[in-house]
């Protein structure tokens, strides 16, 4: 028997032959009326530290913060791959990257893997996606396509309309919905919003940035798109309130991987693998809660399946977080794990890492190589970094290109991971423990390590 929240909403599954877009049986529809709607809002390349309730210093995100005030905020939420396509594959399959197979950017998951729209439609949900897709193959992800939000992340016009979302959420009051709103903000090229509202001279730059005029200009443009993201959240929340759906909708907000600046996206550094994650559900999640429990994106799908009355696939890596939402526990995982496979973004440079909530160990599997990523190399601001003769600038650029085999950080005092403790004897036992856990995880995932970072045939 399912306990707590899940037991309140456990109902017999609709016939497994039901696919996305097919009408549920009348019995399934009647049972579905008592189950919550689900809204998953995913940012695109957003740093957790640019969300107000996570300590933003330059900008405000009042609509996202309001969700945290009415729900719970996770301080140890992680993605497994700091690139959009594999991150979404993990979210929609409940599997770690090597398990689903779609771990390089712009790759496809393995044939026959069930995904979020398949699982939840079988359980009587209407499952749709608005905005960015970036998942492959499309046949494995039969979401209803919801128009109105841009699907191309590099668009120069991130404007949107709520018409498609309104139609989707109100289509059938007798059928619960699961909607993914995948914003393209604040993905580069940072052409949306109003960067003039930010005084570039007063911006507080992260310590992993090099302070140049080009950096300040780009950072202001990036923050303007974070503003657009927050506006989108506010508009959709207002729509749910207007339609009387807000209280019975479980909402997740996810910041995805970090921004397209050095030190976040395309790395296993903390700003790349840590995510802002907020969950809100009126009457079920206590307002204003903060949890330090370690969770990963893979945990969301199996939890939703249980909530809908189904059984998660036995091959899933995700773990049920419903007890966390209920407040029955503040513990979940012992470790979070992460991978990076650099192809096709640049030359092969495989990385694996593990987090225990305080310490993080990064294992660069080919430290003799030079790390390069094509988008970073072409960025105007990065060229200004390389041209700088400032010692700190040279340190940051060299850190990007050349990395030791092991990096160990205490993220409670060094969240931007600038002080590598890997060779400090004082931390030898911690390094050994984390390395052992990481190797065991890789073995369990049939992860060959460096051999995985090779071009797909």
Query: In whole angstroms, what is the distance from residue 175 CA to residue 173 CA?
Result: 6
Query: In whole angstroms, what is the distance from residue 44 CA to residue 255 CA?
Result: 7
Do 219 and 195 meet the contact criterion of CB atoms below 8 Å apart? Answer: no
3-class DSSP state of 133: coil
Domain that holds residue 96: 4-8+19-334
Q: According to the model, what pLDDT value does residue 104 have?
A: 87
Phi-psi group of 386: left, alpha or beta (phi > 0 → left; psi -120 to 50 → alpha; rest → beta): alpha
Which of 334, 368, 392 finishes a domain? 334
Q: What are the 10-residue block averages of pLDDT along the chain, 457 residues in total?
A: 37 29 33 78 98 98 98 98 96 97 92 97 98 96 98 94 98 97 97 98 98 98 98 98 97 96 96 98 96 98 97 96 95 97 93 98 97 96 97 97 98 98 98 98 96 76
Residue among 35, 2, 4 at smallest CA distance from 324:
4
Which of 317, 334, 351 finishes a domain? 334
CA atoms within 13 A on the CB side of 117: 22
The verdict on 139 and 60 lying in the same domain is yes
Return the residue matching tokens 């950080």.
Answer: 409
Query: In whole angstroms, what is the distance from residue 192 CA to residue 187 CA?
Result: 10
Buried b (16+ CB within 10 A) or exposed e, 419-445: ebbbeeeebeebbeebbebbeebbeeb
Give domain status of residue 209, yes or no: yes
Query: In whole angstroms, what is the distance from residue 156 CA to residue 128 CA?
Result: 24
The verdict on 347 and 373 lying in the same domain is yes
Q: Where are the alpha helices (DSSP H) in 274-423?
A: 300-307, 322-326, 374-377, 380-387, 391-401
Q: According to the model, what pLDDT value does residue 26 have?
A: 32
Give domain status of residue 428, yes or no: yes
The verdict on 318 and 412 lying in the same domain is no
Query: In whole angstroms, what is the distance from residue 359 CA to residue 427 CA?
Result: 10
The verdict on 417 and 277 lying in the same domain is no
Give domain status of residue 232, yes or no: yes
Q: According to the model, what pLDDT value does residue 454 have?
A: 79
Give domain status of residue 327, yes or no: yes
Q: According to the model, what pLDDT value does residue 249 have?
A: 98
The verdict on 147 and 215 lying in the same domain is yes
Query: In whole angstroms, what is the distance from residue 73 CA to residue 12 CA?
Result: 31
Give domain status of residue 456, yes or no: no
The verdict on 325 and 354 lying in the same domain is no
Return the residue matching tokens 């359980």.
Answer: 123
Do 178 and 38 meet the contact criterion of CB atoms below 8 Å apart? Answer: yes
Query: In whole angstroms, what is the distance from residue 81 CA to residue 452 CA?
Result: 14
The verdict on 316 and 407 lying in the same domain is no
Query: In whole angstroms, what is the distance from residue 25 CA to residue 27 CA?
Result: 5
The verdict on 173 and 259 lying in the same domain is yes
Angle at the Cα of 301 from the Cα atoms of 300 and 307, rounded to 5 degrees: 90
The verdict on 217 and 274 lying in the same domain is yes
The verdict on 56 and 128 lying in the same domain is yes
With residue 384 as reference, give the H or E element that holds it: helix 380-387
**In the sheet where 359-364 sits, what is the strand order?**
336-340, 351-355, 359-364, 406-410
Assign residue 384 the CATH number of its domain. Answer: 3.30.1120.10
Give domain status of residue 224, yes or no: yes
DSSP secondary structure letter of residue 94: S
Instruction: Report DSSP letters for 225-274, one per residue.
Output: HHHHHHHHHHHHHHHHHHTT-STTEEEEEE--S--SSTTSTTS-SHHHHE
Number of domains in the chain: 2
CA atoms within 13 A on the CB side of 39: 25
Do 258 and 46 meet the contact criterion of CB atoms below 8 Å apart? Answer: yes
3-class DSSP state of 205: coil
Do 398 and 210 meet the contact criterion of CB atoms below 8 Å apart? Answer: no
Give domain status of residue 455, yes or no: no
Q: According to the model, what pLDDT value does residue 31 have?
A: 38
3-class DSSP state of 180: strand
The CA radius of gyration of the chain, in Å to the nearest whole number, is: 21
The verdict on 124 and 271 lying in the same domain is yes
The verdict on 322 and 385 lying in the same domain is no
Largest CA distance in the chain: 70
Query: In whole angstroms, what is the distance from residue 191 CA to residue 193 CA?
Result: 7
């Amino acid at each position: 028997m399912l306990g707590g929240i899940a037991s309140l909403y456990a109902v017999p599954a609709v016939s497994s032959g039901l696919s996305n877009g097919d009408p549920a049986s009348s019995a399934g529809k009647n049972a579905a009326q008592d189950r919550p709607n689900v809204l998953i809002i995913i940012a695109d390349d957003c740093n957790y530290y640019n969300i107000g309730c996570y300590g933003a210093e330059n900008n405000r995100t009042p609509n996202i913060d309001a969700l945290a005030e009415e729900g719970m905020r996770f301080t140890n939420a992680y993605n497994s791959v700091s690139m959009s396509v594999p991150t979404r594959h993990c979210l929609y399959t409940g599997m770690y990257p090597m398990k689903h197979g779609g771990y390089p950017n712009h790759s496809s998951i393995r044939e026959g893997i069930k995904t979020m729209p398949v699982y939840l439609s079988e359980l009587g949900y209407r499952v749709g996606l608005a905005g960015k897709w970036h998942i492959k193959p499309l046949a494995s992800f039969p979401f209803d396509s919801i128009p109105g939000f841009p699907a191309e992340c590099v668009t120069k016009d991130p404007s949107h309309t709520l018409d498609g979302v309104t139609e989707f959420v109100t289509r059938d009051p007798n059928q619960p919905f699961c909607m993914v709103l995948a914003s393209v903000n604040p993905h580069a090229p940072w052409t949306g919003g109003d960067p003039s509202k930010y005084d570039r001279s007063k911006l507080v730059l992260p310590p992993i940035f090099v302070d140049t005029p080009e950096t300040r200009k780009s950072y202001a443009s990036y923050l303007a798109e974070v503003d657009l993201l927050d506006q989108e959240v506010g508009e959709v929340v207002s729509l749910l309130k207007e339609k009387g759906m807000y209280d019975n909708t479980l909402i997740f907000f996810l910041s995805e991987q970090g921004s397209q600046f050095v030190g976040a996206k395309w790395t296993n550094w903390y700003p790349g693998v840590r995510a802002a994650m907020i969950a809100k559900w009126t009457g079920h999640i206590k307002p204003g809660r903060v949890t330090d429990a370690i969770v990963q994106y893979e945990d969301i799908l199996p939890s939703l399946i249980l909530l809908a009355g189904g059984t998660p696939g036995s091959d899933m890596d995700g773990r049920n977080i419903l007890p966390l939402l209920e407040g029955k526990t503040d513990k979940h995982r012992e470790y979070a794990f992460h991978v990076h496979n650099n192809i096709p973004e640049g030359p092969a440079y495989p990385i694996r890492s593990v987090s225990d909530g305080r310490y993080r160990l990064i294992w660069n599997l080919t430290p003799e190589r030079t790390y390069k990523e094509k988008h970073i190399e072409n960025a105007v601001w990065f060229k200004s970094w390389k041209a700088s003769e400032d010692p700190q600038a040279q340190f940051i650029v060299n850190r990007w290109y050349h990395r030791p085999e092991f990096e160990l950080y205490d993220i409670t005092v060094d969240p931007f991971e600038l002080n590598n403790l890997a060779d400090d004897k004082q931390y030898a036992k911690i390094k050994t423990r984390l390395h052992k856990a990481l190797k065991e995880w890789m073995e369990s995932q049939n992860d060959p390590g460096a051999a995985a970072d090779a071009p797909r045939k």
